[in-house]
Amino acid sequence: MHKRRRRSMPATPLPSASSPPSPFTDTSCQPRPPGQHDDRLQSRAEALAKMTLELNLRSVSVLAHGLEKEVQQLVAVTNDNSQFRQRHEQRIAQVWREILAVKASIAEHGLGSVAARESAHTLHHLGALEQRCKDDATTLRNDLTTEIAQLKGLFDNMAAKLHHLSSALDAASMNPAQRPSNATQASKPAQASPRNKAPRHSPKQRLGEAISSTRRWHRDHKTTKLQDGPFVASYLRQQSKRDPVLAVMIQKAIHRRIQSRHGHYTALRPRSLDDFCRHVEWDDVIDTVKQELIKNEHQVIAVLSRSADQIS
């Protein structure tokens, strides 16, 4: 039976190194030069790519193994049917070449006997590997989202510092002749006092920056995978770096809102910002900003003006 099947099987050699690449040979999956393995996100991405490649190779190997058996059965059944063989010989030869190309490609990756040794546990193994890939991909997306949120906060902080630096440079560029002398300052304190007490950011500008920053965070919240607690904590930390006075006002307003909604929360004393944000939803932040900063704009500006005078 074995010799009979070999006589009827199309004689097609295995693909050699000089033959053109088969559609099943993925040249993009060759090992890449080692990168920065100390980077946590890059290491996870590389591990996920390797598992995805193994999952795909195993799936293709199982399909090729099943197709090989079916082709062998077809050849055995139609061995004496010369009319059928003449009509479909070319197609059978093409399928057989593809099967051999898949087996050769899998052997290059060290999985040559995958299809031969896997039987009833194949689907279970592939399902477990696929679930592991999904879990790692979800973890990687969450880490990337956290990194992006931290980078966004860093960029906002740098923009605020650059704005302060620009104002300081403008003040330092004033000519010495234009600066009031000590005698003039002593004789006219009423004129010198407003200049010294003028804040580098007007209260209205600070309020506008806080509202704009909140809108950017609101857009990011629509695509983030983080829970509301960690996301709100990152938002409040960034606001405290950018404008501590406004950050305290927002946090106190959120606290009052939570107290009115959960009476039992008044008995709790959060030990940290993260502990406090476990009770906060992002909608609480949006409603607080609308109520406290937008509707009560004049009151907020007055508070910011008084705080600027005290700092001066």
pLDDT digits (tens, 9 = 90+) for 182-191: 444 444 444 4
pLDDT digits (tens, 9 = 90+) for 94-108: 888 888 888 887 777
Amino acid residing at 106: I
Question: Shortest CA distance to 167 belongs to which of 198, 192, 194?
Answer: 198
Look at residue 272 in the predicted model and tell me its pLDDT. 84
Q: What is the 3-state secondary structure (H, E, C) of 9-36?
A: CCCCCCCCCCCCCCCCCCHHHCCCCCCC
Average pLDDT over residues 199-211: 81
pLDDT digits (tens, 9 = 90+) for 34-60: 444 446 667 777 777 777 777 777 777
Look at residue 199 in the predicted model and tell me its pLDDT. 43
Tokens describing residue 289: 């900003």
Residues 6+ apart with CB under 8 A from 77: none
Let me know: does 228 contact 286? Beta carbons within 8 Å: no
Tell me the pTM: 0.39
